[in-house]
Structure 1
Amino acid sequence: MIAISVVDEQTIPAVLRAAAARFGDHPAYVEGDRTVTYAELLALVERTAEVLISSGACCEDRVVVWGPNSIDWAVAALAVTYAGAVLVPVNSRYVGAEVADVVERTQAPLVVVQDGFLGRDQVGELHEAGVDPQRILPLDRLMDAAARAEGMSHEGTDPDDVADILFTSGTTGRSKGAMSAHRQSIGVARAWAELGGVRQDDRYLVVNPFFHSFGYKIGILVGLLTGATLYPMATFDLDETMRLIEDERITVLPGAPTIYQSLLAAPGREQRDLSSLRLAVTGAAVVPVVLIERMRAAAPEGLGIDQVVTAFGMTEAVVVTMAREGDPADLVASTCGRAIPGMETRILEPGEDGSGELLVRGEFVMLGYLDDPEATAEAIDEDGWLHTGDVGVLDGAGNLRITDRLKDMYISGGFNVYPAEVEQSLMRLEGLADVAVVGVPDERMGEVGKAFVVRADSPAGEALTADDVTTFAREHLANFKVPRQVEFTGALPRNLSGKVLKKDLR
């Protein structure tokens, strides 16, 4: 076995080669009847990288990858960085127009797409949205070509090179691409894995989507660093999740609180053996103390998970704080833990109750937003502090508690939703004169969108229904962004400057 120093593992290709050397024939991925070892993973990535280069993607080009969790998705993503290009993952639930916008803004020569997911025609959607067919590479065609390729040796990547660009929306409704260097993506994955105690004998069910930092950096990259075996799940299915936990003896299951709430409420859970679960990491929404207690409680009352921790992060800084093993249930549920090594937190101008805007600084804060120096300067001040837009409180031990949001963003099923983006889309609906979207509590999803709609003074406005609003939204937006509630109103409450008073709507 080849010994490779951690100091040398500062790029994703180096980490991949080290994983193949260290873990060899140990399974890296299991998906249905298919198993890929770490040695086989390296060979697959080398061949796929050769195909990407021959298709015109290399040398810091951006490559968009659009599809659900799968072994092939992981291979394609790793091959992008192995080829010297930059990975740009996009939400598998996006519609073609949303992906086309990312392709255009990144000037990506290629978009790798899994066609037919959820019965849709993704390639057709891209064509309709104006993407050049020469830039579209179906994932199955890429894998077929890779099977015939000889493979390539990696030429070299610098730790400070951009590894990935993850898009996140802003309050203006325009998405922004957060850029991370190889050393940052690897470093944050390593810190998370060490605090969670992930190890080679772990079997990690990846419900979090690979297009999200929680699935990509805290999934794929954590696997490479630890040798854990990953089980990618394309869509969350409750029965299939319980079957995999029981049959495959899954040990690690990170995810949004809704995953664990669904498991606890699942019919027939008492007849399932879920005792193999030992580590759960959650966040992205308020976590009730009773949920943490039930996750830790022995079956049949609970899930019997040994270690349950919470964390706080964002696309611009993937992991900022994290609870630790041994923290009491009330601390885990009511806070997001303490700053991880390499990161620090601060409250800007705390009030009498200690709350104020949360600022974070450290090794894992993004390099900046793609082609947007003004937004970068607005987000990261001269001293390197990232202004999160969240209001929080730090206790004496540095544990963070998020109390409010400066922004209007809400979290639905673990995904950030920015109302301005939804509102801009809905304003194109004939018969709609004005609209405001807010997040409202939902037992299962944490929060869902509610649209307050003002009808136009026209025949189309008079005929406009709630179903018209949600149908239009589904045609133009990813499902998690679609408002679940619609209320018609004569006018939206606004202040003297014309800004909608969303607190009044809430």
Structure 2
Amino acid sequence: MNLVDVLRAGADAGGWLDRPAYEVDGAALTHADVYDGAGRVAGALVASGVRTGDRVALVLDDGPDFVLAFLGAAHAGAVAVPINPRLHPDELRQVLHAARPALVVGKPDFTAAGFRVTTFADLDGASPIPAAPRAADDQVYATFTSGTTGVPRLVPQLHGDPIVHHRSFAAAALELGPDDVVHSVSKMYFAYGLSNSLFFPLMSGSRVVLNPEAPVVDDVLAIVDKYEVTALFAVPTFYSRLIAHPGSDRLARLRVAATGGEVLAPALEERLVDVLGDRLLNGIGTTEVGQAFTHNTRTARRFNTAGRALPPFEVRVVDDEGAPVEPDVTGRLQVRGPTITLGVAEDGTVRRADGWYATGDLASIDADGYVRVTGRLDDVENVGGIKVHPLEVEHLLSSHPLVREAAVCAVSNRDDSVQLRAYVVRADGPLEDDHLADELTTLARRHLTAYKVPRKVVFVPSLPRTGSGKLRRHVVRTWKP
């Protein structure tokens, strides 16, 4: 089975081959156009020397070129590797060397020393070829982890995996269908955005509105309004900017507002629910799993949780020794399921998780199976020999109406003592505000044990985030007092 053949057969059976699949900048592709174009690109790739199993790196923005190049690589039996075209040149070199592609598809004038480079225009005029025969356990694409720790890893997925993710998440939890219009703030060079904008809509018969530019609140709201978007995907911090905008009333037409990628703070969730109501659905996933493995749904949702496990995935929480804990006890979150990939072995084969996989999250699971994530294991700060989970402090500070977001980390003083420092992005007003700093310190003292209270509040214009919106805490930890 080649995934592209499966997608086309599903579109044919569903009766949506002639319906719009993608719109961007006034241009449109039907579902049939997508598969016809993928066949042409596949013909050009094979003619250029790309062989079955070779990696094809896509350094492209969201758009028809990306869609056809990705599916063309899969059609040809190659492994598509989406890469963020906005990476710093040093980071781009790093991920290209990690990917070791046989061919790089980039925008016009793109170069990459040491690699064979082409453009999409050079791939779109060939004669189509039949899809290369592949098995469900053959590689079809590979994405890089978001790099929150500073070192992205390449994680492959197999031809059968997107089918599992669609049945588990898009169909069962989100109920995507042919009447939906989808827009994902997360781009297709991330695992989350790739499923949201490519696999799920093609398997559901939905229409996708793509934006090749970096996401801006005004642009997203304009897209929601102009195209009557029904399903929106974004990380919590982007939703916080959307609802703070005077035009946020346009979100009322959404059927579902899905969010993930980082922990949704309770105070932010309250503000989002005030605007979005029960359309807001939160969940968690990882690049290693390939998509969400827990999620709230329209029929089963609970405030301040990431929902319940999505079958066939299972979750549990264990203690430091690996023993399962009782309900509502915080420990290490683990997931088990058929698509969990750890990386690639030296011989090029995929390393699948054997049994339970540790996500790196701290979480608890209540008696009804709802998962509450409280932070990351590598986020823990050490203050005077006491472990502090900064997310608890950050969520409290972010509950203040004048705070948009906050990051808390430990800093060493000249006498080698360690204290917590809060870096705060204001919702509005001047960058420096001693009165607000005092209010935030008082708020922390009122609700937290003394060692968790930041000794200093520093206002910053923004926090460093990955392209998918996750906080780059390792960068914040390098900031000097």
* TM-score (norm. length: structure 1): 0.71
2: distance between equivalents of 1:171 and 1:267?
Answer: 31
1: distance between equivalents of 2:361 and 2:344?
Answer: 22
1:93 aligns with 2:67: no
CA contact (8 A) 1:20 1:41 kept: no
CA contact (8 A) 1:64 1:87 kept: yes
1:217 aligns with 2:190: no
**Once the two structures are superposed, what CA deviation does each residue of 1:261-297 show, in whole Å capped at 9, x if it has no partner?**
1111113445xx4432110111222324454454444
CA contact (8 A) 1:20 1:38 kept: no
C-alpha change, 1:341 and 1:175, in structure 2 (3 Å) is: same
Letter in 2 for 1:40: D
Quick one: which of 1, 5, 12 aligns to 1:13? Answer: 5
Letter in 2 for 1:15: L
User: Aligned-residue CA RMSD in angstroms?
Assistant: 3.4
Quick one: which of 161, 176, 179 aligns to 1:198? Answer: 176
**Once the two structures are superposed, what CA deviation does each residue of 1:194-219 show, in whole Å capped at 9, x if it has no partner?**
11111101000122110111111232
C-alpha change, 1:68 and 1:174, in structure 2 (3 Å) is: same
C-alpha change, 1:40 and 1:449, in structure 2 (3 Å) is: farther
Matched with 1:137 is 118
Quick one: which of 184, 205, 208 aligns to 2:186? Answer: 208
Matched with 1:385 is 356
Q: How many percent identity over aligned positions?
A: 27
Matches within 5 A, 1:434-449: 441=394
CA contact (8 A) 1:343 1:364 kept: no
Shift of 1:327: 3.9
Matched with 1:320 is 293
Matches within 5 A, 1:358-373: 358-366=333-341, 368-371=342-345
* TM-score (norm. length: structure 2): 0.74
2: distance between equivalents of 1:322 and 1:314?
Answer: 13
Q: What secondary structure does 1:205 align onto?
A: strand
Matched with 1:340 is 310
2: distance between equivalents of 1:80 and 1:486?
Answer: 40
Extract unaligned runs of 5+ from structure 1. 1-7, 116-120, 411-437, 456-469, 490-506
Quick one: which of 53, 62, 69 aligns to 1:69? Answer: 62
CA contact (8 A) 1:189 1:218 kept: no
Extract unaligned runs of 5+ from structure 2. 382-389, 415-459
1: distance between equivalents of 2:101 and 2:344?
Answer: 13
Q: What secondary structure does 1:64 align onto?
A: strand
2: distance between equivalents of 1:60 and 1:15?
Answer: 20
Shift of 1:487: 4.1
Aligned pair count reads: 403
2: distance between equivalents of 1:394 and 1:451?
Answer: 28
Quick one: which of 93, 96, 109 aligns to 2:102? Answer: 109
C-alpha change, 1:399 and 1:173, in structure 2 (3 Å) is: same
2: distance between equivalents of 1:388 and 1:281?
Answer: 21
Matched with 2:385 is none
CA contact (8 A) 1:65 1:77 kept: yes
Matched with 2:442 is none
Letter in 1 for 2:480: F
CA contact (8 A) 2:11 2:203 kept: yes
2: distance between equivalents of 1:16 and 1:214?
Answer: 22
Matched with 2:216 is 237
C-alpha change, 1:169 and 1:306, in structure 2 (3 Å) is: closer
Letter in 2 for 1:340: L
Shift of 1:131: 2.6
Matches within 5 A, 1:236-255: 236-255=215-234
CA contact (8 A) 2:38 2:72 kept: yes
**Once the two structures are superposed, what CA deviation does each residue of 1:7-44 show, in whole Å capped at 9, x if it has no partner?**
x7x72432134325631210000112101001111111
Q: What secondary structure does 2:378 align onto?
A: coil
Shift of 1:452: 6.5
1: distance between equivalents of 2:273 and 2:468?
Answer: 34
Shift of 1:351: 6.0
